[in-house]
Amino acid sequence: MPLVFKNSFTRAKEEFKPIDDGKVRMYTCGPTVYGFAHIGNFRTFIFEDLLRRYLKYKGYEITHVMNLTDIDDKTIRDSQAEGISLKEFTTRYTKAFFEDLDTLGIERAEHYPAATDHVDEMVAMIKKLVERGMAYEVDGNYYFKIAAFPNYGKLANLDMAGLKAGARVASDEYEKDSVSDFALWKAWDEADGDVYFETEIGKGRPGWHIECSAMSMKYLGQHFDIHTGGVDNMFPHHENEIAQSEGANDKKFVNYWMHSEYLLVDGRKMSKSMGNFFTLRDIIEKGYSGVVMRYMLMATHYRQQLNFTFDGLEADRKALDRYNDFISNLSDYAGGESSGEASEITKKLLTGFETHLDDDLNISGALGDVFDFIRDINRLKAENKLSVEERDEALAAMRKIDTVLAFEQKQEMIDADIEALIVERTEARKSKDFARADEIRDELLVQGIVLEDTAQGVKWKRKV
RNA sequence: GGCGGCUUAGCCAAGUGGUAAGGCAGAGGUCUGCAAAACCUCCAUUCUCCGGUUCAAAUCCGGAAGCCGCCUCCA
């Protein structure tokens, strides 16, 4: 089965063929580190994690770059409001961002270049664009000349000639040749305070779009395989990246563009004024673990809008329990007689899982295969028709697909006092003191420990 | 005004021509302390509506309704 992706640029599903055999170079638009990232941001990062992990599963060697935007209007404004340096301010939120990635089980990219560390590369690129007649300077500001790039608008399918000069164009940009031209470099002004770079093209700071072009080129070359991001970045950001990169290099920039759809909350785009705005930290504080959020953000196909609700999160918690209970209970299973069916069932899981993910990361289909497998193996187990070898084969398959899903919860050691309570409860049950036993169980639940009385004795797990 | 997407069971969600995956909820059952947890079984003659093409349509074509988004802050 060939691996197929929907390419936003051609608007068609295409077989994935890397530029270099067995290797994938991909770029992802990362966060602007001026606050805690919200769950909509993480929907995109989870999609990219699924893509990355599945490419690795398929045996590709990945070079993945995610930029950190640590300079822009918002970072400057908010750091000044706090009276701390831009660096101190963005370092705080960069650290928080990596903590959040860990919470969600998102695998690290190979490179996380920060914009402020790559101003030289951006300046070089701007100079090149000016030399080639693709950019011009007005009062220390540099703009990209869209008229010099005939393909502009091709990604977003916009006809620039038909665009109206809308009310949203800022009035202070009157000096541009065309309202559509975008800033590559912003000359220093008083509002920037001590935030500026002294460079060959003057004192100022880079625009947002140029950083992704300059940094992707530095780490991935002028032409690479996959560029991802949220749909809202398609225009103008990615359109501008194409214009800058191809304008500077005269070479195709990216082979496959992949965009993830929006996350909505209660059917609407998140906004602070609507009261439906959540950071990952808000969700964690409400008692959900990162892996539940991971499941929710991942379980709906990346090109479908995902409506976030707490009811949905509860349902996902249960589904995730089923996944983890299966692995845990199967690991504890002592094995029985083989019925000869298990190998076929396990093979079906792997085939189905791969066939679905090969089809533009059809995760819902893949999860359907996983839950089919869980039911089929549980049935054999209930009838004692699963041998030790078959059990291990099934577990190995689950571990294999979990390198992509990363849903499995390893049960770390529990505290001595919790252990003592579990022992006390077992004693209480022996002496038929069920009131005390239930009291202890409820107490442990508050601490996030769920107990299960099985024929082989008591089991515990952490609530996810 | 221009461009794009979506509408499948109570909720979430796969399925792009061959007769409706999966999860949650619900019902029944196994185990058990008439418990919890876990596990098993059942649960859409039908895919927003109206036409059309076809031996065959949730899937293709035309039309209607509703919802979401993009058109220079935005994952």
**Is A374 near strand B, with its CB below 7 A from some atom of it?**
yes
> What is the Cα–Cα distance from A31 to A67, expressed in whole angstroms?
7
More confident residue, A15 or A335: A15
Average pLDDT over residues A363-386: 96
pLDDT of res. A175: 66
pLDDT of res. A161: 57
| Protein-nucleic contacts, chain A 320-339 to strand B, CB < 7 Å | 321-322, 325-326, 329
Report pLDDT digits (tens) over A296-348. 999 999 999 999 999 999 999 999 999 999 999 999 999 889 989 999 999 99
> What is the Cα–Cα distance from A188 to A205, expressed in whole angstroms?
7
**Is A453 near strand B, with its CB below 7 A from some atom of it?**
yes
pLDDT of res. A172: 46
DSSP-assigned states of every residue in A192-251: GTT--EEETTEEEEE-HHHHHHHHHHHHH-SSEEEEEEEGGGIIIIIHHHHHHHHHHHSS
The closest nt to A37, taking CA to C1', is B75
pLDDT of res. A174: 52
DSSP-assigned states of every residue in A9-55: TTTEEEE---SSTTEEEEEE---B-SSPPBHHHHHHHHHHHHHHHHH
pLDDT of res. A454: 84
Nucleotide B70: closest residue by CA–C1': A232
**Is A262 near strand B, with its CB below 7 A from some atom of it?**
yes
A128: pLDDT strictly greater than 50:
yes
Nucleotide B74: closest residue by CA–C1': A232
Reading the block at residue A387, the tokens are 């041998």
Nearest Cα to Cα of residue A228 among A436, A52, A14, A20: A52
Which residues is A28 bridged to in the sheet?
A66, A228
The interface pTM score, or ipTM, of the predicted complex is 0.94
> What is the Cα–Cα distance from A215 to A119, expressed in whole angstroms?
10
Cβ count within 10 A of residue A301: 17
Task: Scan for tokens 């000359």, then name that residue.
Answer: A187
> What is the Cα–Cα distance from A379 to A393, expressed in whole angstroms?
16
Report pLDDT digits (tens) over A170-191. 444 456 777 789 999 999 998 8
Average pLDDT over residues A248-264: 94
Positions of chain B reached by protein Cβ under 7 A: 1-6, 11-15, 21-25, 31-33, 35-41, 67-75
**Is A43 near strand B, with its CB below 7 A from some atom of it?**
yes
Q: What is the pTM of this model?
A: 0.94
The closest nt to A72, taking CA to C1', is B73
